[in-house]
Amino acid sequence: MKTTRSSEITPESAYLSRRRFMTGAAKLLAGGALLSACGTATPAPLDEEPGDPSPTSGPDAALSPTEGVEPSANSEEMTVPTAGQETDELGNSLTSFEAVTGYNNYYEFSLRKEEVAPLAKDWVTTPWTVRVGGLVNDARTFDLDDLRAFEVEERVYRMRCVEAWSMVIPWLGFPLWRLLEVVEPMSKAKYVRFETALDEKAMPGLGQPFPWPYVEGLRLDEAMHDLTILSTGLYGKDLEPQNGAPIRLVVPWKYGFKSLKSIVKIDLVEEMPTTFWAGSGRGEYGFWANVNPEVPHPRWSQASERIIGGSRRVPTLFLNGYAEEVAGMYDNLDARDWYF
Ligand SMILES: Nc1nc2c(c(=O)[nH]1)N[C@H]1C(S)=C(S)[C@@H](COP(=O)(O)O)O[C@H]1N2
Ligand SMILES: [Mo]
């Protein structure tokens, strides 16, 4: 793992919230909360939201990273953590619980963000298993009890969608490397391939012409990086289905589509996996998907982003603000490949 530097340069706010959460996690475990149970869109994937101004039309240049950020929403909804305290991530306040759980991309349910939560509400995600195999010495199937055994921490991360909007989310979870070390990747393993559940009965979006299941991938060093987590909750509660219950990936320096939801299968593989979006044939959402304000999407600029819950656009940060921690992994990557 290339994380020797990260403890030194992790933003203090993030460090504080990670540390502070250890107490919160202990409470959650004691309370048994963790994993207890838990406009007419066309099939144009990941376009900017219908009715939204084009992401290229914002007043990009004039803004500082903190301008236009709302002082954080409805603190009455949330007990752990409290918005507006030391939980801010890289200068941005927490996005409200309502927005995080009500404005979702989860194409298996719907292409309309506001429709996802109501459609996914009754989806049953217990029991659940995650099969971890491929090029490993000790392939294993983890059930919810096995997943509960990993010590949960809070990670307050910015999430930057490729559609040029962003949130700040207080995740609960544990580093992916903790799970990978249990199964012991072989030296041949170079990439990790992840797969989302397919539930024909519960997921009306599967009728859309996409190459289901939703598959994502990381290079092994990215997967082993301490910032990469498997999340089981947010705002101190178990994940709701629309956010990827019971367990989903979160890779904060990459565009949000890498962070796939409701994982059922993880494989260590030798070749770069074909991802859902790469397989969709659009050529617009590639494997690396590292947030880079200087590499535009083919149809819009990535220079700025709309803060969900805020009213203005702010400049997008290189690697979504996590460059000091992760840029070293990409020394040999061509500039254009930052995106594709
Ligand atoms: N299985 C699956 N995972 C997915 C998606 C999806 O459609 N299906 N959408 C992705 C996109 S585009 C984003 S921005 C994030 C959104 O996560 P959130 O709804 O929890 O904020 O989930 C990602 N994970
Ligand atoms: Mo996204």
The domain ranges of the chain are 6-338
Choosing from 261, 263, 291, 307 the residue with most ligand 1 atoms within 8 A of its CB, the one to mutate for a pocket test is: 261
Q: Which ligand lies nearest the alpha carbon of 171? A: 1
pLDDT (mean) for 65-76: 32
According to DSSP, residue 266 is labeled E
Q: Is the CB of 161 under 6 A from ligand 1?
A: yes
* Distance, C-alpha 28 to centroid of its chain: 22
| Entry pTM | 0.80
- Which has more confidence, 132 or 86? 132
Q: Is the CB of 306 under 6 A from ligand 1?
A: no
For the chain, the average pLDDT equals 79
Q: Is the CB of 180 under 6 A from ligand 1?
A: no
| C-alpha distance across the termini of the chain, in Å | 24
Neighbours of 164 (CB within 10 A): 24
Statement: residue 26 has pLDDT above 70: no
CATH architecture of 6-338: Alpha-Beta Complex (3.90)
Reading the block at residue 254, the tokens are 């990459």
Q: Is the CB of 6 under 6 A from ligand 1?
A: no
Contact 102, 95 (CB under 8 A): no
Q: Is the CB of 104 under 6 A from ligand 1?
A: yes
Contact 242, 220 (CB under 8 A): no
Helix or strand (DSSP H, E) at 191: strand 191-196
Statement: residue 286 has pLDDT above 80: yes
Per the omega criterion (within 30 degrees of 0), is the bond before 315 cis? Answer: no
Contact 170, 92 (CB under 8 A): no
Note the pLDDT tens digit of each residue in 163-206. Answer: 999 999 999 999 999 999 999 999 999 999 999 999 999 999 99
Q: What percentage of the chain has pLDDT greater than the value 70?
A: 71
Q: What percentage of the chain has pLDDT greater than the value 90?
A: 66
Contact 55, 255 (CB under 8 A): no
Pairing of strands 313-315, 304-307: antiparallel
- Which has more confidence, 134 or 310? 134
Confidence category of residue 339, pLDDT binned at 50, 70, 90: low
Q: What share of the chain is helix, strand, coil (3-state, %, to 5)?
A: 25, 20, 50
Backbone conformation region of residue 309, classed left if phi is above 0, alpha if psi is from -120 to 50, else beta: left
Statement: residue 211 has pLDDT above 70: yes
| Nearest Cα to Cα of residue 210 among 261, 275, 118 | 275
> Largest alpha-carbon pair distance within the chain?
53
pLDDT (mean) for 152-167: 97
Could you tell me the distance, in angstroms and rounded to a whole number, from the CA of residue 261 to the centre of ligand 2? Answer: 12
Which atom of ligand 1 lies nearest, measured to the CA of 205?
7
**Alpha-carbon gap, residue 169 to 144, rounded angstroms:** 23
Contact 283, 46 (CB under 8 A): no
Q: Is the CB of 108 under 6 A from ligand 1?
A: yes
**Alpha-carbon gap, residue 150 to 316, rounded angstroms:** 33
pLDDT (mean) for 209-231: 98
Reading the block at residue 236, the tokens are 């101190």
pLDDT recorded at residue 284: 87
Q: Is the CB of 116 under 6 A from ligand 1?
A: no
Which atom of ligand 1 lies nearest, measured to the CA of 104?
19
The residues with which 233 forms a beta bridge, in sequence order, are 172, 238
| Beta-carbon contacts of residue 43 (< 8 Å; ≥ 6 apart) | 111, 208, 209, 210
